[in-house]
Amino acid sequence: MNGVGTVGTQRAVVFTGDRPLTLASGARLPEVEVAYETYGELNEDRSNAVFICHALSGDAHAAGVHEGDDPDRPGWWDNIIGPGRPLDTDRFFVVCANVLGGCKGTTGPSSVDPETGKPYGLRFPLVQVRDLVEVHRALLRELGVQRLLAAVGGSLGGMQALQWAIDHPTEIDGAAVIAASARLSAQNIAFSAVAREAIMRDPDFAEGDYYENDRRPDAGLALARMIGHITYLSEESMREKFGRRIQDAEVPRFGFDVDFQVESYLHYQGQSFVERFDANTYLYMGRTMDYFDPFEDRVAVQKQISQGKTSFLVLSFDSDWRFSTEHARLMASELRGAGAPVTFQEISSPHGHDSFLFPDPPEYHRTVAGYMDRLAVQRGIPARRAG
């Protein structure tokens, strides 16, 4: 089955000096530019729009390939987006945008502050998940979309879909919240803290003002990514991939250099990450997740949700110990308590937290496809093509 083919990233300025973005904290950004991609076509009554919210290290390039790129390395969620796939571009107009605070074309710490003419660095204001959503909503207005069929996302992306449905229930039919949490545990915050320290203690961090320097905090960012990546995998998947196998040798070398395959893999993950990501963005997105707590005021949430008819799909994976099924059950319980229709499912998968990025087990994609089919029927969108 073919995907969406060759695509391009577009940009739109969604907030300007005469209409700045006021964040939930009260801070203001005089200008916000957003990088985004679209797949499929918006139908005549503009009822088939689906927004993909990406995770911490994601970006706008969710599907297809860019001109000149390796066709075997498509966008980060290509396996779920495309003709006949769960997010079926024969039926849906799919939008994915780089988040506020990002480093792939959307305004963030590496962007130039128009007031100083220099990159923001740590002068960029802290953002909340609802700020990410406000920028998404502004982009949709630019695209002529007033109401979403669904917001779909995994991990931090799921948090955005959840916040969107709570804050703007009359604007969204459905929210698919996958491998996410509504409130990070102390353990999760601890992992975030260690990753943050790895970056900020790097001598090249320069208090966040490293953009004009010859060196950047690559060592710290690589270490932060290595720490994070361990939490994205399950013990089973690490055992199957690496076991205790030695890298490029038959016997151990008994030293402190890389010896085991798993060590080599983590070093590769860290090094490849610094080539495509910004250290400050990593700090900001991690902190955004730390502070996320949408059900803190249950009375307000119940009042908000009652204003619309948004349905929720809450999915977890049994091998995900970063955001375990308990996180998903608590979310589903809170939503049901607020009167929302909720479909909850735990899916057995060997891949850990990263399960939401894989096409298997088949039950995962079948569940998402079934949920999207139900939303589509409610809006009179034609059924999926056979096969």
Question: How do beta strands 65-66 and 6-7 pair?
Answer: parallel
Rounded CA-CA distance 220/170 in Å is 43
**Known active-site residue 61:** no
Which one from 316, 353, 354, 355 is the annotated catalytic residue?
A: 353
What number of CA atoms fall less than 13 Å from residue 83's CA on the CB side?
Answer: 9
| Residue 92 φ/ψ region, left for φ over 0, alpha for ψ in the -120 to 50 degree band, beta for the rest | beta
Catalytic residue among 155, 316, 324, 355: 155
Annotation says 192 is catalytic: no
Instruction: Check: CB of residue 125 under 8 Å from CB of residue 108.
Output: no
CA pair distance 224, 192, nearest whole angstrom? 9
Residue 232: which residues within 8 A CB-CB, separation 6 or more? 322, 352, 353, 354
Beta-carbon contacts of residue 242 (< 8 Å; ≥ 6 apart): 260, 261, 262, 265
* Rounded-to-integer distance, Cα 272 and Cα 310, Å: 39
| Residue count (the chain) | 387
Residue 138 structure tokens: 């502004």
Q: Which of 98, 34, 87 is nearest to 61 (CA)?
A: 98
- Show the tokens assigned to 299: 């009375």
The structure tokens listed for 100 are 């506020």
Q: Where are the beta strands (DSSP E) in 243-362?
A: 311-317, 342-347
d(CA 356, CA 79): 10
- 8 exposed, middle or buried (CB, 10 Å; 0-12, 13-18, 19+)? exposed
Query: What strands, in cross-sheet order, belong to the sheet with 10-15?
Result: 10-15, 32-39, 93-97, 49-53, 148-154, 172-178, 311-317, 342-347
What is the DSSP track for 266-288? HHHHHHHHHTT--HHHHHHHHHH
Residue of 59, 131, 218, 320 marked active site: 320
Catalytic status, residue 353: yes
Task: Kindly list the catalytic residues.
Answer: 155, 320, 353
